[in-house]
Amino acid sequence: MEEFAALIDALVYTRSRNAKLALIADYLRATPDPDRGWALAALTDGMDFKAVKSSTIRNLMKERVDPILWSLSRDFVGDTAETASLLWPEPSSDVEAPPGVAEAVALLGAMTRTTVLTELPMMLDRLDPSGRYALLKLATGAMRIGISARLGKVAFAQAFDVSVDEVEEYWHALQPPYAELFAWAAGGAAPPETENLPLFRPFMLAHPLEDAQVSMDDYAAEWKWDGIRVQLVHVANENGGETRLYSRSGDDISATFPELLDALAIPAVLDGELLVRGSTQGGVQNDRTQGGAASFNALQQRLGRKTVSKKMLSEAPAFVRLYDALAIEGEDLRTLPWSDRRGHLERFIPRLPDSHFDLSQIVEAGDFDQLAEIRASARDDAIEGLMLKRRDAPYVAGRKAGMWYKWKRDPLLIDCVLMYAQRGSGKRSSFYSDYTFGCWNGDPDAGAELLPVGKAYSGFTDEELKKIDRHVRQNTLNRFGPVRETDKSLVFEVAFDSVHQSKRHKSGLAMRFPRIHRIRWDKPAHEADRMTALEALIRD
Partner 1 sequence: MIADFSWIRPEPHGIHVVPADCWIDPSRAVDKALVTHGHADHARGGHGQTIATPETLGIMKLRYATDEGATSVSYGETIRLPGNVDATYIPAGHVLGSAQILLEHAGEKVIVTGDYKRRADPTCLPFEVTPCDILITEATFGLPLFVHPPIAEEVGKLLKALHDNPECCVLVGAYALGKAQRVIAELRAAGHRAPIYLHGAMERMCRLYEEFGVELGDLRLVADHDKEAMRGAIVVCPPSALNDRWSRRLPDPITAMASGWMRVRQRARQRNVELPLIISDHADWGELTRTIEEVNPHESWITHGREEALLRWCQLHQRRARALAMVGYDDEDD
Residues that bind partner 1 (CB under 8 A): 9, 12-15, 65-66, 68-69, 72-73, 76-79, 82-83, 86-87, 477-480
CB of 474 to partner 1, least distance (A): 16
Query: What's the angle, vertex CA 471, arms to CA 426 and CA 381, rounded to 5?
Result: 80
CB of 416 to partner 1, least distance (A): 23
12: Cα separation from own chain's centroid: 21
CB of 164 to partner 1, least distance (A): 26
Contacts 24+ apart (CB under 8 A), 461-466: 464/300, 464/519, 465/428, 465/431, 465/433, 466/431
In the bound state with partner 1, the residue whose beta carbon lies nearer, of 191 and 447, is 447
Q: Round to whole Å and give the CA distance between 290 and 284.
A: 5
In the bound state with partner 1, the residue whose beta carbon lies nearer, of 13 and 310, is 13
- Cβ-based neighbour number of residue 439 at 10 Å: 25
In the bound state with partner 1, the residue whose beta carbon lies nearer, of 160 and 420, is 420
CB of 239 to partner 1, least distance (A): 47
Residue 151 to residues 6, 80, 248, 348, 533: CA-CA distances in angstroms?
18, 26, 16, 37, 22
Residue 520: its H or E element: strand 515-520
- The answer to whether 415 and 527 are in contact (CB under 8 A) is yes
CB of 52 to partner 1, least distance (A): 20
Torsion of CA 401, 405, 406, 407, to 10 degrees: 120
Q: Round to whole Å and give the CA distance between 441 and 437.
A: 13
Nearest to 363 by CA among 323, 309, 304, 415: 323
Residues 6+ apart with CB under 8 A from 220: 338, 339, 342, 362, 388, 389, 391
CB of 231 to partner 1, least distance (A): 37
357 CB burial (10 A radius; 0-12, 13-18, 19+)? buried
In the bound state with partner 1, the residue whose beta carbon lies nearer, of 206 and 477, is 477
In the bound state with partner 1, the residue whose beta carbon lies nearer, of 86 and 110, is 86
CB of 79 to partner 1, least distance (A): 7
In the bound state with partner 1, the residue whose beta carbon lies nearer, of 9 and 315, is 9
In the bound state with partner 1, the residue whose beta carbon lies nearer, of 12 and 349, is 12
Classify strands 207-208 and 404-408 as parallel, antiparallel or unpaired.
Answer: parallel
CB of 425 to partner 1, least distance (A): 24
CB of 10 to partner 1, least distance (A): 9
CB of 439 to partner 1, least distance (A): 22
In the bound state with partner 1, the residue whose beta carbon lies nearer, of 86 and 255, is 86
Residue 56 is which amino acid? T
In the bound state with partner 1, the residue whose beta carbon lies nearer, of 250 and 438, is 438
CB of 479 to partner 1, least distance (A): 8
Enumerate the β-bridge partners of residue 386: 223, 407
Q: Round to whole Å and give the CA distance between 189 and 181.
A: 9
**Secondary structure class of 54 (helix, strand, coil):** helix
In the bound state with partner 1, the residue whose beta carbon lies nearer, of 19 and 205, is 19
In the bound state with partner 1, the residue whose beta carbon lies nearer, of 66 and 364, is 66
- The answer to whether 280 and 252 are in contact (CB under 8 A) is no
Nearest to 510 by CA among 519, 501, 522, 520: 501
